[in-house]
Amino acid sequence: MNAVGKTFSFMLLERIYDDDLAQASYLVACQETGSAIIVDPNRDIAQYIGAVERRSLRLEYVTETHIHADFVSGARDLARQTGATLLLSGEGGPDWRYAFARSDGARVLEHRDCFDVGQVRFEVRHTPGHTPEHLSFIVTDRLASERPVGMFSGDFIFVGDVGRPDLLERAANLQGTMDTLARQLFRSLRATSELPDFLQLWPGHGEGSACGKALGAMPSSTLGYERLVNWAFQIGDEDAFVREVLNGQPEPPKYFATMKSVNRDGPAPSPKPNDLPELDLTGFERARSDGASIVDVRATADFAAGHIPSTLNIPVGTSFATWAGSLLPYERDIVLLADTPDRIERARRLLMLVGHDRVVARGGRALRDEWQHSHGALARVKLIESTELPADDGRVIIDVRGQTEWDAGHMPQARHLFLGNLSELARDIPHDTPLAVHCQGGTRSAIAASVLQAQGFTDVANVTGGFRAWEAAGLPVGTTGEAGNGTDSLHPNRTVHAS
């Protein structure tokens, strides 16, 4: 109650987090008027419609902080389905304006614009750096105070990190952009000096996202706390900041370039759910001969124990969208293999989130049994512990981790072939070469083993403990510049590390 006895209905804020994308969307509503906005929706729009309906709200606006690279945006589809007004950035120059803004009747936002969701005011700030058009939104709950309560920082400021400025150059191949964006990011950070320490920060991603180097696990922070602990606020020199923010960035997933174009030019509505037909052996062989990608989404141990030859193993989990987006061609149909409907449906949803809409069929245990009856034994992947790697059996050790992980330490005799580029890098290695593939813990190397088997390699082992177990056992660790520095011993004039 206030001094005159009136009860206020303050701003409502709900964080809607997708663990598989490490991505946060937000529902904001004025409870006084019942009007609402969704910020940064992904393509699974039913969850936002459900959140609005459960609270008996009226969705007035849909917006996003920037053109996303790691998933297909749901903003356009959500606005169309609900009749809400679409709010899109008008900053960033002609190359990074939304091509569909005018046709969709979107309201274009520019720096210092304001709009109201009931009694909740949004002030638009242009915060370039991660992308040229990036916006952040300063939020004021005017029923509570005329001072701002928080900022939707998108991929500008994270908990403990900032958005990487190298994606347009390294993922979309726009040369010369990462230095420019890094300098814009530095200036965007300095421009926050006018904002109060108490301002809450609601970022667009959490721990595990590839949109930064080392995002924190906390769901939110304050600007004051980030000024104390976030590395990006500790560097006052622009050149030094540019060097640091570009140093050690992980390899961007290959599908990021596709997502940038899709989200700029106009994402299609998410496909309507339908029952996937279950293939028998005849249908399976027809799909494969037609060029479909065959993806076994079972756990790595199940795949290793027996699978249809030349199938790709991408186990459903938090890294599934990253590797499915990076390894599966968008122009091909996809057939999913698993033993449970839940695993098939989860994989299908994640594929939809990164724009893979051509999932046409499924298969399971019955298909494997039919394959065995017709063709004989299933294929298998050898499993060996890192501590069991013999030193003299002629098996070539392949490290499929990222460049930064490799630089920090690796098995001294390992060759570095990054998983995202493995098909190209391994193309001219003799297929009868015995290989032992490892990553940090075992998941990426399991995917890599299936990639190599599908390419025709006949003796592939997955090192299940990975480099983590190697280090824990106190075994020797190499560093960049030593014998295993990325020059392939099978092809000594060929560099195999990926940056």
* Residues known to be catalytic: 439
Residue type, position 274, single letter? N
Question: What pairs with residue 62 in β-bridges?
Answer: 38, 86
Give the Cα separation of 435 and 394 in Å (integer): 9
With b for 16 or more beta-carbon neighbours within 10 A and e for fewer, the 417-445 pattern comes to bbbbbbeebbeebeeebebbbbbbbbbbb
Smallest Cα–Cα separation from 309: which of 353, 375, 389? 375
Smallest Cα–Cα separation from 137: which of 165, 163, 110? 110
Give the Cα separation of 311 and 227 in Å (integer): 49
CB neighbours of 282 closer than 8 A, spacing ≥ 6?
Answer: none
What secondary structure does DSSP assign to 219-252, as a single string? S-EEHHHHHHH-GGGS---HHHHHHHHHTTPPPP
Rg for the chain (alpha carbons), in Å?
A: 25
Contact 85, 58 (CB under 8 A): no
CB neighbours of 375 closer than 8 A, spacing ≥ 6?
Answer: none
Q: How many helices (H) and strands (E) does the chain have?
A: 16, 21
